[in-house]
Amino acid sequence: MAWRNIWRNKTRSIVIMLSIALGLFSGIAILSLYQGMMDSRVRTVIDAEVGHLQMHHPEFKNDYEPELTIKNGQQVLKSLISITGIKLAVPRSISTGMLSSASGSAGVQINGVIPVQEYLVSQLRKKIIDGKVFDQEKKNQIIIGKKLADKLKLKIGSRLVLTFTDSSREIVSGAFRVCAIYRSDNSPLDERNVYVTMKALNSMLNIGQSFHEIVLILVQDGNLDAFKEQLSRQFPDLKIETWQEVSPETNLLVKTTNQYSYIIMIIIMLALAFGIVNTMLMAILERTKEIGMMLALGTNRIKIFFLVLLETFILTFAGTPIGIFSAWGIISYFQKKGLDLSGMGNEMMNSFGFGSIIFPEFPADKILDVFLIVFLTALLSCLFPALKALRLQPVEALRR
């Protein structure tokens, strides 16, 4: 009877089913886009910024004091490389100071790197958009970010001065020449991070072969906490942090974005619920005499309630497969080809740490949650029309 009642007005029922399908498609598309953006951001953080784990002197990141190097750093590196599950262990020397040029100055973090190893851990070579990588035969070369170069009007071959304090708390300065300009998917980092060779920086810091940071890249993304506990036991004198701790803003962004995507999905379905309520109310009003006759003949009011409930569920869930499979098909296409958001502006996307090409990912792990939202939508949508039907009195209904 519920199935037959739905098709009394085919156009109205089909419009509601398609509305449900379109709403589900929109909600799943948003979930997929956000998940793709967050996966891309996490991959960028791990593969091109901070790595899976970082190791420092326990007090180094408080004030970035040059003398707080990793004790017995070379031995620590050898031990790390021998641990199963660690793909790369790359050292860096770090200092904070002032970069000055003829056009102005800016505070920067100076990263002293071993070029061959740094190209692997942060993909620095791939980020270069102008100039060439470090030349072993040339001294005091520096690689700067595109945003910093634009700010200070620097170009390839420009001369600049770095000023910072060494391990003896003395102020030192050095002249460097720009050999390359890089651009990543994170403009704020580009503006404050510059790269020089570890040999050049260590010489100015007067710390010999020591270094301040070890970046770890693991074979697999999982088991970060287990690795952290293992390394903490093996190296109790060092501070070990996961990428979530080194980049808490990214970790917070991932968590809050998942919540926001669900909120948007719920809002879409609530909006559709009003359409379903309207449709079911119209159906109840059109069949007032029929329902009155059923009540007069002794039909249980509970059966009337379940009749309205079943009609609502059929209307709602009939559009669900259409919405889900259409979303799956389109998302699968863009997952392979990529979704170009450069029209929104590369600079805007980079300012939030995202690339302009996003690869949406169908949220298969969230489909049960989607079905739950659809179920609750159908349940809420049927309550008012069902109560309206239950309040009908047989004699009054038959008079209408």
Q: Are residues 187 and 266 in the same domain?
A: no
Q: Are residues 33 and 79 in the same domain?
A: no
Number of Cβ atoms within 10 Å of the Cβ of 331: 23
Are 265 and 373 a contacting pair, CB within 8 Å?
yes
Please report which confidence band the pLDDT of residue 195 belongs to, taking 50, 70 and 90 as the band edges.
Answer: very high
pTM summary value = 0.76
Q: What is the largest CA-CA distance in the chain?
A: 101
CA distances from 66 to 51, 59, 328 (A): 22, 11, 53
Q: Are residues 155 and 138 in the same domain?
A: yes
Amino acid at 283: A
Q: Are residues 268 and 224 in the same domain?
A: no
Q: Are residues 385 and 254 in the same domain?
A: yes
Q: Are residues 36 and 99 in the same domain?
A: no
pLDDT in tens, 236-284: 999 999 999 988 888 888 778 777 877 887 887 777 777 777 777 776 6
Please report which confidence band the pLDDT of residue 189 belongs to, taking 50, 70 and 90 as the band edges.
Answer: confident
> What is the token pair recorded at 84?
């199963």
Last residue of a domain, one of 231, 246, 261: 246
Are 50 and 92 a contacting pair, CB within 8 Å?
no
For residue 172, list its beta bridge partners: 164
Last residue of a domain, one of 222, 246, 270: 246
Last residue of a domain, one of 246, 268, 300: 246
Q: Are residues 216 and 282 in the same domain?
A: no
Angle of CA points 211, 213, 216, to nearest 5°: 130
Task: Determine the structural domain holding residue 238 and report its residue range.
Answer: 50-246
pLDDT in tens, 41-95: 888 888 888 899 999 999 998 989 999 999 999 999 999 988 888 899 999 999 9
The residue with greater pLDDT, 374 or 347, is: 374
Q: Are residues 368 and 390 in the same domain?
A: yes
Q: Are residues 66 and 189 in the same domain?
A: yes
* Structural domain total, the chain: 2
